[in-house]
């Protein structure tokens, strides 16, 4: 592949790799070429890591049948960061984890009231400074309430997954 296309940054999708993150996606989007290697069942012959410069990347602490689904996750996360890939450039800039750790604020759609739950009044008021302040506060609260990596929450989170 490299003889025909030139050098690639090579990533092996496997559970023993560094956990994929938004900062990784941001570094991958800068690469002219990525080669995603997808192992099957028991993974890769260890010798390929001795013979080639290959980074190991994981999407979490669980095992899948192969690296194809983790590769799709990486492709999607990186593609969102490619200029012009999204209709609105601000979408990717305002996503969760763009600063490395902060979650996005809650989002609401129509109708204004659904099953007795209303959109927060501040969002309906039209004061953009207040809306921005509310969004920042909500994002910080969500981030602080999020379980830390490796922890296992035992209580449901308001019906969230």
pLDDT in tens, 55-64: 999 999 988 9
Question: What's the pLDDT score for residue 152?
Answer: 54
pLDDT digits (tens, 9 = 90+) for 7-56: 999 999 999 899 999 999 999 999 999 999 998 878 899 999 999 999 99
HSE-CB at 4 with a 13 A cutoff on CA atoms is 1
The Cα–Cα gap between 148 and 159 comes to 19
Catalytic-role residue among 3, 4, 30, 42: 42
- In the residue annotation, 89 being an active-site residue is answered as no
Catalytic-role residue among 9, 95, 135, 142: 95
- State the pLDDT confidence band at 95, using cuts at 50, 70 and 90: low
Domains 6-79 and 102-145 share a fold: no
Question: What's the pLDDT score for residue 30?
Answer: 95
| pTM of the predicted model over 0.75 | no
Section 78-95 average pLDDT = 79
Catalytic-role residue among 9, 15, 56, 142: 15
Each domain of the chain, given as residue ranges in start order, spans 6-79, 102-145
- In the residue annotation, 55 being an active-site residue is answered as no
Question: What's the pLDDT score for residue 148?
Answer: 63
Contact between residue 107 and residue 131 where contact means Cβ atoms under 8 Å apart: no
Section 99-124 average pLDDT = 87
Q: The domain 102-145 belongs to what CATH superfamily?
A: tRNA(m1g37)methyltransferase, domain 2 (1.10.1270.20)
Higher pLDDT, 150 or 103: 103
- In the residue annotation, 80 being an active-site residue is answered as yes
Question: What's the pLDDT score for residue 161?
Answer: 44
Residue 84 has pLDDT above 50, yes or no: yes
Higher pLDDT, 159 or 5: 5
User: In this structure, which topology does domain 6-79 adopt according to CATH?
Assistant: Alpha/beta knot (3.40.1280)
- State the pLDDT confidence band at 82, using cuts at 50, 70 and 90: very high
Q: Position of tokens 């604020």?
A: 105
pLDDT digits (tens, 9 = 90+) for 122-154: 999 999 999 989 988 988 888 888 876 655 555
Catalytic-role residue among 9, 56, 80, 135: 80
Section 78-85 average pLDDT = 92
Question: What's the pLDDT score for residue 143?
Answer: 81
- In the residue annotation, 95 being an active-site residue is answered as yes
C-alpha distance from residue 124 to each of 37, 91, 109 (Å): 48, 21, 11
Does an H or E element contain 16, and which? strand 9-19
């Amino acid at each position: 592949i490299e003889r025909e296309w030139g050098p690639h940054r090579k990533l092996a999708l496997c559970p023993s790799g560094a956990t994929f993150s938004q900062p990784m996606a941001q570094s991958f989007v800068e690469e002219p070429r990525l080669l995603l290697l997808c192992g099957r069942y028991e993974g890769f012959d260890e010798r390929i890591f001795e013979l080639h410069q290959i980074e190991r990347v994981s999407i979490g602490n669980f095992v899948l049948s192969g690296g194809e689904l983790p590769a799709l996750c990486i492709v999607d996360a990186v593609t969102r960061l490619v200029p012009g890939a999204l209709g609105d450039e601000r979408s990717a800039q305002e996503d969760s984890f763009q600063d490395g750790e902060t979650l996005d604020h809650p989002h609401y759609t129509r109708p204004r009231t659904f099953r007795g739950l209303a959109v927060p009044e501040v969002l309906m008021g039209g004061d953009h400074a207040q809306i921005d302040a509310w969004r920042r506060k909500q994002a910080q609260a969500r981030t602080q309430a999020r379980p830390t990596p490796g922890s296992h929450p035992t209580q449901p989170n308001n019906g969230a997954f």
